[in-house]
Chain A
Amino acid sequence: MRKYEVGVVLAPDLEEEALTEFVGKINRWITDGDGQVLKVDQWGKRKLAYPIDKFREGYYVFVTAEMAPSAVKTLENNFNISESVLRYLTIRLEE
């Protein structure tokens, strides 16, 4: 089990409901892999430094979690499939 920080930029055109639902999805993907969510930090909508997929804004979410290393790949695959995810970045946290 290692500590990771997962940052995700979501499309800004989702309504609140869809957003919270998606964040829940992320949490579930983590726990499905025997992981544990430690912290969720939602920055909300933010202007992007450059347009992505024609969007100029994005919804930022950062999740700190403890997961198995093998689970990271699965999580990222899910991000790749999802159309609402514009960017993601998974970092291993050192202590």
Chain B
Amino acid sequence: MRDNDFEEPIDNVGLEDDYEEEEDSLEDLETEELAPEEPSVSRRQAGGAPFRSRAANGKAGATARRGIRRLKKACPFCEEGSKAIDYKRIDVLQRFITERGNIRSRRKVGTCAKHQRQLAVAIKRARLMALLPFTADHIRGA
């Protein structure tokens, strides 16, 4: 079983760090992500998939791909102290969905796991109450 990786998926070769969001459906999966800081171990030693940087294993040199280490963003909710994430506050929630209405990946936003879960619940509730859209069609409007 492969270790879960924190690196970009194969079809997204390190570009995304510096380039603002293209619509990338893989990134917008509404699932939990592991902490990005976990170093990956051993799986490259078998000579596995292409495009995986050996920099992740601590091996530097010409083969290192830039930008493996992510920005250590602080969770925007953690800073505020523990307030519940309210589904009615769409002014807050808006930040965490894409232009098409998808929930943004935790990797891109920097929220912590706990708050991302609460955030997802709040967004889904808001969608149910028609405060937020489900799909892009809804946004395109009348």
Give residues in A with beta carbon < 8 Å to B.
7, 9, 48-50, 52, 56, 58, 60, 62, 87, 89, 91, 94
B101-142 interface mask toward A, CB cutoff 8 Å, 1 = contact, 0 = none?
Answer: 000000000000000000000000101111111100010001
Instruction: Offer 13 A-B interface pairs, CB within 8 angstroms, sorted by A.
Output: A9-B129, A48-B130, A49-B131, A49-B132, A49-B138, A50-B130, A50-B133, A87-B128, A87-B129, A87-B130, A89-B129, A91-B125, A94-B84
CA distance A48 to B142 in the complex (A): 11
Instruction: For residue B136, give the distance in angstroms from its CB to the closest CB of chain A.
Output: 11
Instruction: For residue B142, give the distance in angstroms from its CB to the closest CB of chain A.
Output: 7
Q: Are A7 and B133 in contact, with the CB atoms below 8 A?
A: no
Instruction: For residue A53, give the distance in angstroms from its CB to the closest CB of chain B.
Output: 11
- For chains A and B in complex, what number of residue pairs have CB atoms within 8 angstroms? 29
CA distance A60 to B126 in the complex (A): 12
Give residues in B with beta carbon < 8 Å to A.
84, 88, 125, 127-134, 138, 142
Contact check: which of B84, B125, B138 meets A50 at CB < 8 Å? B138
CA distance A49 to B127 in the complex (A): 8
CA distance A56 to B130 in the complex (A): 10
Cβ–Cβ < 8 Å partners of A52 in chain B: 130
Instruction: For residue B48, give the distance in angstroms from its CB to the closest CB of chain A.
Output: 43
Q: Are B142 and A56 in contact, with the CB atoms below 8 A?
A: yes
Nearest 10 pairs between A and B by C-beta? A50-B138, A48-B130, A49-B133, A49-B130, A49-B132, A89-B129, A87-B129, A49-B138, A50-B133, A7-B129
Cβ–Cβ < 8 Å partners of A87 in chain B: 128-130
Cβ–Cβ < 8 Å partners of A94 in chain B: 84
Cβ–Cβ < 8 Å partners of B125 in chain A: 89, 91
